[in-house]
Amino acid sequence: MSGDGLGMVLRDVINEDDEIIGQADNCEIEEKGLLSRVAFVVIINSKDELLLQQRSAGKKAYPLYWSGAAAGHVNSGESYEEAASRELGEELGIQAPLRYLGKYLSVEDREMVATFLAYHDGPYEIERREIEKIDFFTIDRLRREMPRMKVTSFLERALVMLERRSA
């Protein structure tokens, strides 16, 4: 998630109904455990494989965990979709049409997470400060290997949304 540690970027503070109740910087949001917004993107390529990223070892949250293609905090005044698009550019160097899959409140992370789906075959320019590596997984392979992988709760929730979409 881009923006970790950048104290001066303002984010909207929300309530559990995703209504904006104020603004704060990253430091204040973390210190006070305020609710904020996150955009999460899953990419599927033309082989019907998911592009997953392993988060950088230097990340404060979920270092070396496998997650979706891109994710990041929504800045104040930005929509979920705008943040998702920005993160695709920052983390993977791409732009792609986004399809909204749904959103949920991650109580443990204190974040409202909007999940998007994009189709893209690369090439990708990986942001090395954010991403350790990327790999492609069929949903079957991911389900088989997940018990032995460190995966974010965001990826687990997105997988359920994806499977619901194709059911």
pLDDT digits (tens, 9 = 90+) for 60-117: 889 999 999 999 999 999 999 999 999 999 999 999 999 999 999 999 999 999 999 9
Q: Does the structure show a pLDDT above 50 at 135?
A: yes
Distance CA 129, CA 4 (A): 11
Write down the domain spans for the chain.
10-166
CA-wise closest residue to 68 among 91, 52, 50, 85? 52
Give the CA count within 13 Å in the CB-facing half-sphere of 28: 10
**Which of 1-10, 98-107, 132-141 shows the lowest per-residue confidence on average (mean pLDDT)?**
1-10
Q: What percent of the chain has pLDDT over 70?
A: 95
- State pTM to two decimals: 0.92
Q: What percent of the chain has pLDDT over 90?
A: 88
CATH code for the structural domain at 10-166? 3.90.79.10
DSSP element (H, E) containing 105: strand 99-106
Report which DSSP code applies to 140.
H
Report which DSSP code applies to 74.
P
Model pLDDT, residue 164:
82
